[in-house]
Amino acid sequence: MEYARSVQSPNAYWGEQAKRLHWIKPFYSVKNVSFDPENVSIRWFEDGYLNVCENCVDRHLANNADKTAIIWEPDSIGAPRLISYRELHDEVCRLASGMKALGVRKGDRVAIYLPMIPEAIFSMLACARIGAIHSVVFGGFSPEALAGRIEDCGAKLVITADEGLRGGRCIPLKHNVDAALAHPGISTVSHVIVMRHTHGEIQWNDQRDVDYQALTRSASPDCAAEPMNAEDPLFILYTSGSTGKPKGVLHSSGGYLVYAAYSHERVFDYQPGDVYWCTADVGWITGHSYVVYGPLANGATTLMCEGLPNYPDETRLGEIIDTHNVSTLYTAPTAIRAFMAKGDAPFRDSRRSTLKIIATAGEPINPAAWNWYHDVVGRGQAQVIDTWWQTETGGVMITPLPGVDRHKPGAATQPFFGVCPQLVDNEGHEIEGPGEGNLVITDSWPGQMRTLWGDHERFVQTYFSAFPGKYCSGDGARRDEQGDYWITGRVDDVINVAGHRLGTAEIESALVAHGKVAEAAVVGCPHDLKGQGIYIYVTLNQGFLPSPEIHEELRQWVRKEIGPVASPDWIQFARDLPKTRSGKIMRRILRKIAANEFDQLGDVSTLADPAVVPQLVDARVNRA
């Protein structure tokens, strides 16, 4: 069996798969990994050299120069933009030359804060071409959040646009960059490249700002691809953890690309000629691996949609599928639920007969949404693929395979090739057979993150200390009688709101930075559309009384500090929070109260003051 071979002989298996890429200097060593918490070290193809951009672009010029690499659909209905591999090469080389002219060198960090326009892909690939490490920041993050990420990685350059468009709304990206760079902690950024997209009004700083078009039109179309060691970093992507500030997940060049490309082919049954559409924003890992790197490494046509697939209305999704003969659709359960809420009617006027795979990722999919996706969007003919993975894993880890349809709505089913999942109890003992526990991975795979930028200790602490010798995913899972995996959700203080991963600690520290807030606790709460919503408990400082004004002020404050992605759904004022005698907030109880599960509060006798619980129950925000 192929899976057995992949996990029993990883060197042979991955050595073979890595041949799909062009190596400037071949590798002899395949896997060199230690999960020992004393010395975590993850290296794949470590003596090989390649260039990721060359693999995603130049390699396809010989036979497929005129093939469409990118189909771009604008936010509002209008002519799509088609970009061939030849044009992609030209655009990327010009931008790479321009970046070099601005002094960007191998190993430098570049922050990319762009909307979903082709220039976002050009920017990522241009970085890869010259060996700069990109850090894409989602446009839904605030200037404060952007500043934190720029500061943490010490970016030299920022690439942005005047404005982004999403569902008809403007996002003031350049304005946000200006605000972020005004932060006192930021001293490394020498230039900001600005793409004129909407031509909206912006401030201009002659010393710092560079016009994207002017730069690339005058730059050389020749720019040699930098030979990179397989273990040289390709990108940093910040993601939320259960504690502290966002973590800079670092991915490699060789192993990451092998894994993104190979998983893209196998999970989505990619065939030459297929048009592949992943709706994720490039600001998330799904956008990195399955809008950009996986599909382009495979010479595919990747469809990129600027706005929302339900804008101007719900018929847009089917129209785009029909117009471009899309064969694979990859989206999030949140989007599926939003469509489902509007019913089947918008799908009557499109055929969607080219769809063969319809996939989802990012959060557990409820069986009702799974069935609706299968029956309506896929007309009962396309296979639903529910993929479990994480920013940290680089690519899909647990997934059904095309053609092996078990029809289990809600199950991610089986490990991908080379992936060794295990369930363990809280003491770390392996759970065999059917059961439920913490989902860990016992051996490395090429797409695994290598470290956290600038903080290897935190990397080891976060992922390898809870269950020594194993990668701890932070998710819980159940395994059924057939050995299929069902992801049950995070077991830590991370919440998943509309498929966006947020740390409750981050939101709490934003709240307590507000002058009127004494204390705050944030928990996830079931939400019909978003899967989870953000439920906040706040205690106000002396002298302030709960009011609709303060409620709104705090809501806006969180949006400003973190961004619209973290917009609170419910805020409950509390006189006090449930704490243990040592002062630890009991989030377990707060989660139950938020979820309306008053009969499942458990033992409250260990609280410093058990009387706060009935007060909180009484005052629970009416969500009906």
Interface contacts to ligand WT7, rule CB under 6 A: 239, 284-286, 361-364, 386-391, 412, 473-475, 487, 489-490, 496, 501
Rounded to whole angstroms, how far apart are CA atoms 69 and 374?
Answer: 28
Q: Which is nearer to ligand WT7, 410 or 546 (CB)?
A: 410
Name which of 290 and 347 has its Cβ closer to ligand WT7: 290
CB of 430 to ligand WT7, least distance (A): 20
Residue 7 three-state SS: helix
Q: Output the residue with the shortest Cβ distance to ligand WT7.
A: 391
Q: How far is the CB of 63 from ligand WT7 (least distance, A)?
A: 32
- Residue with smaller CB distance to ligand WT7, 49 or 445: 445
- N-terminal to C-terminal alpha carbon distance within the chain: 51
Encoded tokens for 176: 């946000």
* CB nearer ligand WT7, residue 229 or residue 302: 302
Report the nearest approach of ligand WT7 to the CB of residue 268 (Å): 14
Closest CA to 519 of 554, 564, 487, 566: 554
Work out how close the CB of 180 gets to ligand WT7 at its nearest, in angstroms, rounded to a whole number.
22
For residue 106, which of 234, 222, 193, 212 has the smallest C-alpha distance?
234
Q: How far is the CB of 285 from ligand WT7 (least distance, A)?
A: 5
Q: Tell me how far CA of residue 621 lies from CA of 35, 40, 431, 594, in angstroms.
A: 45, 45, 39, 8
C-alpha distances in Å from residue 392, one per residue of 104, 250, 450: 27, 8, 9
Is the Cβ–Cβ distance between 371 and 559 less than 8 Å?
no
Tokens at residue 599, please?
A: 């009969």
Q: Are the C-beta atoms of 49 and 23 separated by less than 8 Å?
A: yes
> Measured between alpha carbons, how far is 540 from 556 in angstroms, rounded to an integer?
16
> CB of 522: closest distance to ligand WT7 in angstroms?
17
Pairing of strands 275-278, 326-331: parallel
Query: CB–CB of 337/528 below 8 Å?
Result: yes
Least gap, CB of 240 to ligand WT7 (angstroms): 8
Minimum distance from residue 404 beta carbon to ligand WT7 (Å): 17
Tell the smallest beta-carbon distance from residue 410 to ligand WT7 (Å).
8
- The three-point CA angle 464-467-468 to 5° equals 60
Cα dist from 619 to 405, 508, 613, whole Å: 47, 20, 10
Q: Tell me the closest approach of the beta carbon of residue 487 to ligand WT7, in angstroms.
A: 4
Complex with ligand WT7: residue 176 or 286, whichever CB lies closer? 286
Evaluate whether 3 touches 415 at the Cβ level (below 8 Å). yes
Q: Report, in Å, the least distance between residue 428 CB and ligand WT7.
A: 19
Q: Which is nearer to ligand WT7, 441 or 554 (CB)?
A: 441
118 Cα distance to chain centroid: 18
Which string of b and e fits 266-294 if b means at least 16 CB within 10 Å? bbbbbeeebbbbbbbbbbbbbbbbbbbbb
Q: State which residue, 362 or 446, has the beta carbon closest to ligand WT7.
A: 362
**Least distance in Å: CB of 485 to ligand WT7?**
9
Nearer to ligand WT7, 69 or 502 (CB): 502
- Torsional class of 131: left (φ above 0), alpha (ψ -120 to 50), beta (otherwise): left
* Cα(175)–Cα(164) distance, integer angstroms: 11
Alpha-carbon Rg for the chain in angstroms? 24
Cβ nearer to ligand WT7, comparing 232 with 475:
475
Residue 360 CB, shortest distance to ligand WT7, in Å, is 6
DSSP assignments along 50-104, one per residue: E-HHHHHTGGGHHHHTTSEEEEEE-SSSS--EEEEHHHHHHHHHHHHHHHHHTT-
**Looking at beta carbons only, is 279 or 286 nearer to ligand WT7?**
286
Decide whether 389 or 557 has the Cβ nearer to ligand WT7: 389
Question: Is the bond into 295 cis (omega within 30 degrees of 0)?
Answer: no
In the beta sheet, which residues pair with residue 205?
none
* Closer residue to ligand WT7, CB minimum distance, 418 or 578: 418
Q: Which two tokens stand for residue 528?
A: 């019909």
| 239 vs 504, beta carbon nearer ligand WT7 | 239
CA 274 from chain centre, in angstroms, equals 24
